[in-house]
Homo-oligomer: A and B are copies of this chain.
Amino acid sequence: MRESVGNAPPPDTPTPGRPRRFDTAAVLESALELFWKRGYHTTTTRELERYLGVNQSSLYNVFGTKQALLDAALDRYETLTTGALLGPLEDSESGLQAIEKFFSDLAHWVTRDGRRGCMLINMMAEDGTATESIKRRTRDYRKRVKLALKDSLQRAVANGEVAVDDLDQRASLLLGMVLGYNIAARGGASKQELQALLGAVNAQLSSWRCAQA
């Protein structure tokens, strides 16, 4: 069942049996939305049924279990976040500017539609009962974000924008701020609070900039 996930448009050779009535990809997108806003444990299968407009049995036929649905949603989330946040940072040619853009993008990403935070970072804190799969994902995510930030700093050095040697420490600082900004947003911090956090990061980045750059 799991291998048919994402086959929203029916394949060229029509499959036998009654055709699926819903678009798997669209339903997955809605599930992601719900898990993102409400968290995993607080989202019930009945809620999913209502919000997605798909009967529980169909949902379970296609995705297996609630955990499996979350996993599929997280796969999708990683694609989205790569496209919107991490991809641009990783692919950019610029240094400091790419980091500034990343934090600016992050601010929008994390507060759109009534403040939800980054789903993966939310998962880190949801509770102590995370799956191994979840733990691995979140660990990888922290690692990936830090590396992307460090590489950008490296480029900034190469470009002569900044002149520092302790790149790893500075990347850690930025990673910490990414995590902190997220939990503040998730915790319902006001716009002023969030703006203050963002301002602190930007001031920090500016302070690293060489005078001549």
Contact = CB atoms under 8 A, between A and B. Distances in A.
Interface of A: 37-39, 41-42, 116-117, 121-130, 135, 138-139, 142, 166, 168-170, 172-173, 175-184, 186-190, 193, 196-197, 199-201, 203-204
A177 B184 contact: no
A39 B128 contact: yes
A203 B40 CA distance: 37
A42 B183 CA distance: 19
A203 to B, nearest CB: 5
A197 B183 contact: no
Nearest to A141: B187
B125 A170 contact: no
A116 B127 CA distance: 10
Pick the most buried of A173, A184, A187, A190: most chain B CB atoms within 10 A of its CB.
A187
17 contacts: A39-B126, A116-B128, A124-B183, A124-B186, A126-B126, A128-B186, A135-B188, A139-B188, A166-B203, A168-B196, A169-B196, A169-B199, A172-B200, A173-B201, A175-B197, A176-B201, A180-B180
A180 B188 contact: no
Across the A-B interface, the 10 shortest Cβ-Cβ residue pairs: A124-B187, A125-B125, A176-B180, A179-B180, A180-B180, A172-B200, A39-B127, A173-B200, A172-B196, A42-B127
Helix, strand, loop or mixed for chain A's interface?
helix
B41 A130 contact: no
A121 B183 contact: yes
B129 A125 contact: no
Contacts of A199: 169, 172
A173 B183 contact: no
Contact of A188 (B138, B193, B204): B138
Contact of A129 (B42, B142, B197): B42
Nearest to A38: B128
